[in-house]
Chains A and B, each alone.
Chain A
Amino acid sequence: MKKVLSILLLFIVVISVTACNGSDDNMSLSDSNKLTIMGKKSDLAKSYMTSIFNQYKKSTGISLEIIAIEDSEYETEAQKRFNRGDIPDIFMHFHNSDLNDFDIEGNFYYLNNESWVDDLTSGAFLYCLDSDGNLLGLPFWESSVSGCYYNKTILDSLGLKPATTQAEFDALCQVLKEIGYTPICWPGNGCSWMIQFGLDPIFADNPSVLEKINKNEITYSDIPQVKSMVQWISDAADNGWFGSNYSEIGWSDISSVMGSGNAVMVFIWDTWFYTDFEQGNKYSVDDFALMPVFMNTVDGGTYEGGNLNMMMVNKNSDNLEKALDFLSFCASEENYNIAFDGISTASCFKGQTTNIQSQMVIDASGSIAEYERVSTASTMIFGYSADEVAEIFRKMFYKEISVSECVQLMDEYRIKEAKSQGIAGF
């Protein structure tokens, strides 16, 4: 009797579990009045995301199934779902090297011909392109612009103006140094984002170079611009353009250095001025303006666009049309302006008006449109480690290694890291 009861109980449990799992699949794949959207839990909780979801549901009556996965498990969990064919209608992901694991060509719909494409800002548009020029997703995210933020009040008081070329930038640094200013605040202690600004144009402008280095067919040492960048940084340090104690300046010191006017320029992003730049110093955010970063890799300088979360469409979904309509809904000027109303961010859409943009970025918008690159080095190069690069440069600043050895060490670490990640070709 007991045996019969046990079997019966087990049967009930199995049926229950199967039913639970099956309901999820059925909802995402077969329910014609629903769209499934998968993303990181924290990303989906952003106010502009919930706003656009609510607008959509209210406007169309189509319900959205939000699959929110814990941030720390996102890559592995999403990978599992894709592997078993459990792919949502809308998949949210940043454009970085991890995206390659999701069979882009096999799973996602290219959005090149969508009506809203022309409304994208150039930076956002470029960010969403793959190496073949296919638009992978709709960038619907807050953003920032990284570049060379300079103290325009100081420059104006000296009758100087921002540089437009590498040569002008070098001349500007030299003149500032000669009259007693520290031209650039270079936080040499543990900070490394400046390096990736210099590297971005090398790889963003030459996708084949990125591809070769990621296949381990070439190294940094084979790329002349990398060495010229490292050489420039070394020379700038030796020329005194970073001041005297730059290798001891860390993240927390940048605010006081720039606020006091001890340094005139810094390579950073606009939102830093609203999150980390302390008030009460001699200079405030209104004293600063933006010009490109010059690190001897491209003559006209470069800006680095923000990392954007893209909404990508499952090309194999039964709800493909609905999903594309959803993206169009999001890319509607009226809708995104409602969603981003009052959000401090750089614009992804040309028609964005309700978001709060920094005046520095607005003033430099022409130049940004010309010279902005997507963040490439830190996101696209396999094995790239900002922390390790910072350490290697610190050794160079202390004259423990030469420029060539610095490049060599960057390669050694990158290859070692790529090997440890089991990346093909390494």
Chain B
Amino acid sequence: MKNWVIKLLLSSSMCVVGVAAVLIGIFYFKFISERIYEDSTLHLKEIYSQVNHSFGAFVERNWGLLDSWGDHLSLADNNENKEIYDFIEKEQEYWGFSEFYFLSSNKTCITYDGSEANIDLENVWNSFSNEDAPIMAGAKLSTGHEVTVFAVPVKNGRYKNFNFDAIAISYTNADLASSLDVNAFEGEAKCFVIDKDGNVLLSTQKGGSIFNNYLVYLSAVSDLSNEKIEQMKNDWISENSGLLQCNIGGVSYCILYQSIGYQDYIMLSIVPQSAVSAGFLSVQKATSNVLIMIFLLVGVAVITFVIVRSYAQSRKNKMELQYRELMFDVLSNNVDDIFIMLDHINQRVDYISPNIERLLGISAQKARNDIRVMEKCAVNHNVVIPKTELESIPFDGNKYWECEYMHQSTGERRWYRMTVYHMNIQDVPKYIIVLSDRTQEQQMNQKLQEALTAAKSANEAKSNFLSNMSHDIRTPMNAIVGFLTLLERDAERPDKVREYIRKITASSHHLLSLINDVLDMNKIESGKTSLNLETFSLPELLDELNIILMPQVKAKNHKFRINVQGTPPEQIVGDKLRLNQILINLLSNAIKYTPNGGNIDFNICELPSSAQQYVKLRFVVSDNGIGISKEFQSHIFAPFSREVSSVTNKIQGTGLGMAITKNLVDLMGGIISVESQSGKGSTFTVELSFALPEKKESESWFHDKISRMLVADDEEDICLDIKKLMGDIGIDVSFVKNGTDAVEAALKAHQNGEDFDIILLDWKMPGMNGIEAARMIRENLGTDIPILMMTYLDWSSIETEAEIAGINSFISKPFFVSTFLQTIKPLFSDKVEYEEHKESNVKGVMEGRTFLVAEDNEINAEIITEMLSIEGAKCEVAVNGQEALEMFKKSKQGYYDMILMDVQMPIMNGYEATRQIRVCDHPQAKTIPIAAMTANTFAEDVRDAMEAGMNGHLAKPIDMNAVRKLIGELLS
């Protein structure tokens, strides 16, 4: 049987069972409700029958008492008044009635104390229709309070001279009502004794009797129809009992009435229906609750079973589906193929493999919402899957296209073969699209192509390099060879000889520079260059740059200005040598490619750094030189690149400087950029990060020596920088913007007894310049206060004039605390030492000295021997390190003044020989100066030489000036 038939049968059965259960429930509840109503009304009737019976007994008792007293009282005479009074008083106390009355037929009445009764007995008199019958009637006291009177006729009675025809006792209605009250029905039952007109004699109304006529009340406020009211009245007249239901103020009540049996009085009870059936209802409720609970439990059990079973099945199906999906997802995530299922009619996406996000950068959800988002990735074709093409695929057929896509985030390109299958899935026509990744295949093809191109390029590069090298080497070599030829020819003409030698020297230097650059470049590119990190002073570096470049600047009459913006740290950690190399390359180019009298600006500023322990510096070299064409800017950093122009052709260069610079910047993790315009100048910007050394406290010196200083400079930024830098140390800095104000400030401070500890004067200021200001200060204040002059410029031209004016020392701008400290320390020392910057007479130092030269190359040995001989020194040559070591060890103390050590030598190289010398037992082993004399000229080589125990490094080919300087330093 088919599933749907089973389901239909099952559903129908459940519906039938449900309807049957509901009908049974309704029938049951109706049956039970009716039974409960019957039982509860029966219960009500029984209770009030008992109340009625009890009240009747009470009435009978009172009448019985009155009858018995009446016989006695009718015989009494006046003499017995006291006895009667006492008797009644005693009886009142015993039976609890409120008053005793003697009633006369003339409608007068006295109480048993003989006073006139303050009571309206109209009803009582009216009730005496039958003279022999006892009566019960309501009466009202003069205060308005109501009582019920029981009276019996008495014949010929007389009391206290009052002729009476009846005696009566009264009860307050409140007391009497308590005998009608029942505890049943949750205290909500009310009982009334009423006459047949509905007038209320007694009431158990909570609080007291507020009802005058209950029939009127019911007519007015209940939903009883006139017919029912009339029927009830008729029942009362005919002394029938009855039971009614009515609604008063939204509450259902049961009204029970029955004749008391005396006069026309009726006992009427009114009880809320909920109270009548309360006990039964609670049973009904409990029963109902149990049944409902059973139904519910069974229902819940069935539903739970169905749900659990259904859930289990669903879960199983879902799990299987999830497993399949998971496996498919894992599979698709680990392959680079994309799977898509499209609806045949509207091309809506039913499925798309999640790896689309990884492969194309499109979220699967977006692609699912609209497959056209894939068009963004499509390269060279706008439509992802052409609709017409799709529709052309026959059922159970397929078609494929080659596509190229680009990753939306990474830009990575991928190639696919898109195969579309048209098929039915669960009777629904679908398109299954499989994008098979062909990227590796494509990339392999491309790589092969690129490799081929690269091989071609490498070959071309090699050819270019050789061509370049051939050209660049041959050019100076041509000059050298040519001039040597000319030298041979003109050997007898000293002026020609000197000219040729100068030109040969220049060409040699150029050739040497070319070789150095090529080797350097080669070493950087091969990754053999490493950075030598050390803490160095930025001000010192700038100072050295200034010194190195100043001759070139002066030679071309440029204006060169180093400008430090802000207050970058002075001590930084980096490869000073390489930084120097970068900056010299840039500055040298600026100087070289700027026509005479140009402006070269070198700006240094600090950039925001991402890490606290690092500083990021920007070095900007700008000039107003010949500029660089747009075309050349694109490959300015390529090796052997030199712009070809009428100007550049006249300037010597290897074309490797910028390539080396770029590589060094890259090596240091920085960036370099160029902005230039032909004919207007160039700006090179280098941004590098440096670590910061741990701070050293050198501020105590300042605190001991200086507390106040005066700065005079027309550039306010400089004044503010100095104020900040010195302020951080705790020095109070005052500044003025011209010489006149500087003099005035110094004099005023002196008059106040608060002389400045030091004064810094700019050289060139508007009005009075720094020298004039210094002179004025010295004339007025004497020579106690040190005065320093600050300038960007070379101060050598004004040095003498400034000293005469009273300037103690000079300091170059920009202002650095460390430079300042270094400059002023001598001025504050007890014994002032002036450093004399005089070039030492190296020649004098070398004269008469004996050098041990380790050199395996005979020619080089001869050259150095001759060179030293020219300087008045003699040398002894060892052909390798071992021999040098032996010669030194055998020498007497003081015989050799210095050792010049080649590095690459047979048997024992220079490093090893030096190490051996330093550890041997010769008295001079530790002290004799040893200098490397080698063609190994890289920074690493210098470092290796120092680590081996050498004291200096001389690069080959030997430059005698360098030799002189080094020897002078080591031997002085």
Contacts and interface: CB of A to CB of B under 8 A. Distances in A.
B216 interface: yes
Given A159-B217, A160-B217, A178-B249, A170 B207 contact: yes
A104 interface: no
A160 B210 CA distance: 6
Given A159-B198, A159-B220, A179-B221, A171 B144 contact: no
B249 A370 contact: no
A171 B205 contact: yes
A159 B249 contact: no
B212 A161 contact: yes
A157 B216 contact: yes
A174 B220 CA distance: 16
Scoring A158, A169, A300 by chain B CB atoms within 10 A of each residue's CB, the highest score goes to: A158
B37 interface: no
Contacts of B218: 159
A156 B212 contact: yes
A158 B207 contact: no
A162 B208 CA distance: 11
B220 A157 contact: yes
B210 A171 contact: yes
B236 to A, nearest CB: 15
Contacts of B740: none
Scoring B208, B210, B214, B219 by chain A CB atoms within 10 A of each residue's CB, the highest score goes to: B210
A174 B210 CA distance: 11
Contact of A168 (B198, B209, B213): B209
A355 to B, nearest CB: 23
B215 interface: yes
Nearest to A155: B212
A156 B209 CA distance: 14
A171 B221 CA distance: 16
Contacts of A164: 143-146, 208
B216 A180 contact: no
A120 interface: no
A368 to B, nearest CB: 10
B208 A159 contact: no
Contacts of A271: none
Contacts of A155: 212
A167 interface: yes
Contacts of A175: 210
A164 B209 CA distance: 9
Nearest to B222: A179
Interface in B196-251: 198, 200, 205-221, 248-249
A159 B216 contact: yes
A366 B210 contact: no
Interface in A165-203: 165, 167-172, 174-175, 178-180
A367 interface: yes
A200 B718 CA distance: 97
B829 interface: no
B216 A165 contact: no
A158 B218 CA distance: 8
A163 interface: yes
Nearest to A178: B249
Nearest to B215: A159
B214 A179 contact: no
Scoring B144, B145, B220, B248 by chain A CB atoms within 10 A of each residue's CB, the highest score goes to: B144
Contacts of A161: 209-212
A406 B146 CA distance: 37
Interface residues of B, number: 26
B142 interface: yes
B221 A158 contact: yes
Contacts of B221: 158, 179
Contact of B211 (A159, A165, A174, A367): A159
B143 A159 contact: no
A343 B208 CA distance: 39
Nearest to A158: B220
B629 to A, nearest CB: 91
A168 B207 contact: yes
A356 B584 CA distance: 131
B209 A370 contact: no
Contacts of A366: 142-144
Nearest to A370: B143
A295 to B, nearest CB: 15
Given A164-B208, A168-B210, A171-B207, A158 B248 contact: no
Given A179-B221, A180-B249, A366-B144, A160 B212 contact: yes
B207 A159 contact: no
A240 to B, nearest CB: 12
Interface in A250-298: 291
Nearest to B145: A164
B249 A167 contact: no
A83 B870 CA distance: 148
A62 to B, nearest CB: 43
A156 B207 contact: no
Scoring A159, A160, A168, A179 by chain B CB atoms within 10 A of each residue's CB, the highest score goes to: A159
Scoring A175, A178, A367 by chain B CB atoms within 10 A of each residue's CB, the highest score goes to: A175
Nearest to A371: B143
A185 B144 CA distance: 24
Given A164-B145, A366-B143, A158 B208 contact: no
Interface in A136-165: 155-165
Contacts of A160: 210-212, 217
B216 A367 contact: no
A165 B208 contact: yes
B206 A171 contact: yes
A31 B249 CA distance: 75
Contacts of B249: 178-180
Contacts of A174: 207
Nearest to B219: A159
Contacts of B219: 159
Contacts of A169: 207
A231 to B, nearest CB: 17
A230 B200 CA distance: 33
Interface in B130-148: 142-146
Given A168-B208, A171-B206, A366-B144, A159 B248 contact: no
Contacts of A179: 220-221, 248-249
B208 A167 contact: yes
A367 B646 CA distance: 139
B216 A158 contact: yes
Contacts of B209: 161, 168
A159 B221 CA distance: 10
A306 to B, nearest CB: 22
Nearest to A175: B210
A156 B208 contact: no
Interface in B924-959: none
Given A157-B216, A158-B220, A179-B221, A163 B143 contact: no
Contacts of B213: 159
B216 A156 contact: yes
Nearest to A181: B221
A366 B248 CA distance: 35
A160 B248 CA distance: 15
A175 B270 CA distance: 14
Scoring B200, B211, B215 by chain A CB atoms within 10 A of each residue's CB, the highest score goes to: B211
Nearest to A172: B210
A159 B208 CA distance: 14
Contacts of A178: 248-249
A228 B145 CA distance: 24
Contact of B217 (A158, A171, A367): A158
Q: Which 7 A-B pairs have the closest CB atoms?
A: A171-B207, A159-B216, A159-B217, A168-B208, A167-B207, A161-B212, A159-B213
28 contacts: A155-B212, A156-B216, A158-B221, A159-B198, A159-B200, A159-B212, A159-B216, A160-B211, A160-B212, A161-B209, A161-B210, A161-B212, A162-B144, A164-B144, A165-B207, A167-B206, A168-B208, A168-B209, A171-B210, A172-B207, A178-B249, A179-B220, A291-B144, A300-B143, A366-B142, A366-B143, A367-B143, A367-B144
Interface of B: 142-146, 198, 200, 205-221, 248-249
